[in-house]
Chains A and B, each alone.
Chain A
């Protein structure tokens, strides 16, 4: 055994002993096969019982030169690039309280390990919600959803997490615990760190708490759908609705190989308001074939992101295009290659997701081509899941001229590269 391996082993066992002292032996266990992330197999899974415990464990790992992978529900751990190193899984499973639901103030303070589903159940008791339709809410946690900047169809009306998170508490690699923002919806005191860590994939610090602004649950909802003859007709319908005075909450185009694209629009409000609005929307959708509402309309994104059950190579990616270029984007997807199967959803915001399936090489080429097309329009493509054979494909694409600035931010927050090393943009 060479000296460096031996010294790492020593420091690891010292670390493990110290961690057991902090969290209790039952909350620090050897990692199992099911804890592997892609090809990486961490050594230990730690479940701190408090923010302070979490910060102490993180500080120790950082000092020992160990790579730390923060984990919430584990639903999106494979998103991003392959980890350069993975030693410790730092789980937020025990930090799962809804600390405060200030329903009269329309805010809620939640620990990072609380699932979105449980949070929504709590909020619903007072007729409120976090206006975010996240993926897999029954397992996905607050910390994970914020770190991956997940969003769904409701984003059109209520904004994304950057508009909904009003405060965060973070544990940094060096053990610092810091808060930014607060529990009021309007606040410009200091830098907006909640936005910095939203979508940072846990590379700057571990989110231990978040505070959200909330919205009332809708009194009534209606969904209207129609099939369009082609992607451009679908785009026209979407733009007509967007350019109208309707107050819709969500608007999307679903598309898949061999089917006509479908447009879905969601209205929320009072009975009286909805009757008029749906009547107007139907007129706008008259060029297309009206379709009834079907189950799972607003779960379409979840179906795309979920792994395919068998066989073929695949890639699932988040795409961003201009709202006025959705037709062109969908047309480009349709031309990606013979023998390729595709399906996806794009919201009227220009954010969407696409799943490509087929022969490995064909899927990989399709991803590259689509990324170049989107990039040409100022958009982007970020890979979420892909087959193991495509692991080397960069998940992120270009960060433009600010990669250096992002690296400088990372250097300030996590100079040793302890948190999720290699997973983020440009090798961060």
Chain B
């Protein structure tokens, strides 16, 4: 990049908004997935939509690829810089712009952290529902890019359910508005496609969120089971009984040990732990909780506790939310995986995962959103032992293949990013991926916004699309198109 471009960018964001020193750039060389690292040419820290537009116009004119970045907590390398590109950090755009309680809407800049939204409306007994475990630090802009989930999306839905409108700077620097404070704006639901597009369709600079009224009561039950089999059957039975809890989380013995070592959540030492949270009107919750208790007992739960105070409930959740980081207590290194399976496949997949883990000679801890089949296997290894890292990566990929074979997905909430783009052709056929990229071509024909993410083979936007070809798995009769 020529110095005149740096000068121009400095003009836009000021000297404090432009990082070019090697030591400064190192902070941005990766996101939460640290095994991919690329040094960007520059990092820009705009403080307004106008500045973002100006930066992007320069990038567009000079054909410089750019990577938008929120808090950098993503776990799929979505905010990994690209070579010869710049990073546009939205960290300084962190104002809550409007709280509109009459309509249950909050408008924010992308750098506002997830938990800050709830903090702002908590006194009025509202909350912002999506709750990724990193919610105290992750940003709403990043949540939009990744369509972030969390434990409570079983009942409340994902980020996409709670985003109503977006102001977006497109890759050519133009400013557009998708959706709005009202629902069903005429035309294509481009906002629906933008949420979860991992920064490849542009940069959200303003976000209109829906907030939710706090339920009358919340009850959290913790049940200890001999193994994940009984805990899995309990999950199926709860769903089959026609209940939709706010959250159903499962932890296996390894995960329990780690969480205990890290935050002393006072979990029972058992084969598997289920955490079931119900919320709603008092009488309704009481009736359903009695039913959940009965189902747990029927499935051989040997200890059942219902948190008796907000402090107890907070402690139960603290253990769960700290589980990833806690792995450091029981293993030198670990890979966090994120896959989804149909709920009914839980017992089979758990069994098969156990077998693979045994075969590879590596431990796998499991913490997951059991209610919606979103697994987070943690593959434990020690980098210092030759060959273990490679074996851990291979095992981690095998687990994803297991999820695909069970009819599931390679990611439920962490995104594809850089990490999983190689897995996309295993989940989707070539025409599927090619069709998705038509959207990309409409939004960003030069493919400047976060290029080389999600798709293993970028489509040239002038490319003529071909006709339908059967996926090899279809031809072999192994898989069927849904």
Contacting pair A272 B287 (CB below 8 A)? yes
Which residues does chain B contribute within 8 Å of A176, judged by CB atoms?
Answer: 431, 434-435, 465-468
Q: What is the bound-complex CA distance between A408 and B190, given in angstroms?
A: 12
Q: A351: CB under 8 A from chain B?
A: yes
Contacting pair A189 B410 (CB below 8 A)? yes
Q: B36: CB under 8 A from chain A?
A: no
Contacting pair B146 A199 (CB below 8 A)? no
Contacting pair B436 A193 (CB below 8 A)? yes
CB distance from A1 to the nearest CB of B (A): 33
CB interface residues, B 381-403, toward A, < 8 Å? none
| Partner pick for B435 among A170, A245, A398, A408, CB 8 A cutoff | A170
Contacting pair A350 B442 (CB below 8 A)? no
Which residues does chain B contribute within 8 Å of A242, judged by CB atoms?
Answer: 104, 213
Which residues does chain B contribute within 8 Å of A246, judged by CB atoms?
Answer: 281
Contacting pair A189 B467 (CB below 8 A)? no
Closest A residue to B428 by CB, please name it: A190
CB interface residues, B 210-246, toward A, < 8 Å? 213-216, 236, 239-240, 242-244
Q: A117: CB under 8 A from chain B?
A: no
CB interface residues, A 380-416, toward B, < 8 Å? 380, 382, 396-403, 405-406, 408-409, 411-413
Interface centre among A103, A411, A413 (most CB of B within 10 A): A413
Contacting pair A192 B434 (CB below 8 A)? no
- Interface 9-residue window, one of A34-42, A293-301, A321-329: A321-329
A-B contact count (CB 8 A): 294
Closest A residue to B191 by CB, please name it: A195
Given contacts A188-B196, A323-B104, A413-B438, contact A245 B216 (CB under 8 A): yes
Q: B443: CB under 8 A from chain A?
A: yes
Contacting pair B481 A104 (CB below 8 A)? no
Contacting pair B177 A402 (CB below 8 A)? yes
Which residues does chain B contribute within 8 Å of A320, judged by CB atoms?
Answer: 182-185
- Interface 9-residue window, one of B12-20, B251-259, B263-271, B412-420: B412-420
CB distance from B153 to the nearest CB of A (A): 7
Which residues does chain B contribute within 8 Å of A426, judged by CB atoms?
Answer: 187
| Partner pick for A187 among B182, B369, B409, B442, CB 8 A cutoff | B409
Contacting pair B177 A186 (CB below 8 A)? no
Q: A367: CB under 8 A from chain B?
A: no
Contacting pair B190 A349 (CB below 8 A)? no
Q: Residues of A within 8 Å of B, CB-based: how many?
A: 99
Closest A residue to B215 by CB, please name it: A245
Given contacts A189-B424, A247-B280, contact A178 B432 (CB under 8 A): yes
Given contacts A187-B411, A192-B193, A277-B281, contact A177 B468 (CB under 8 A): yes
Q: A109: CB under 8 A from chain B?
A: yes
- Interface 9-residue window, one of B55-63, B314-322, B341-349: B341-349
Q: A120: CB under 8 A from chain B?
A: no
Given contacts A189-B411, A195-B192, A245-B281, contact A412 B103 (CB under 8 A): no
Q: Other than the known A204-B188, A320-B182, A409-B188, what 7 A-B pairs have Cβ atoms closer than 8 Å?
A: A106-B239, A178-B434, A184-B409, A186-B409, A188-B416, A190-B424, A322-B182
Q: Which B residues are closer than 8 A to A by beta carbons? A: 100, 102-104, 146-147, 149, 153, 157-158, 160-161, 170, 175-178, 180-190, 192-193, 195-197, 213-216, 236, 239-240, 242-244, 280-284, 286-288, 340-344, 369, 372-374, 407-416, 420, 424, 427-429, 431-436, 438-443, 454, 465-468, 481-482
Listed by A's residue number, 16 A-B pairs whose Cβ atoms lie within 8 Å are A176-B431, A180-B435, A185-B372, A186-B413, A188-B412, A189-B424, A193-B439, A195-B193, A239-B102, A269-B284, A276-B282, A324-B103, A380-B182, A405-B170, A408-B443, A409-B190
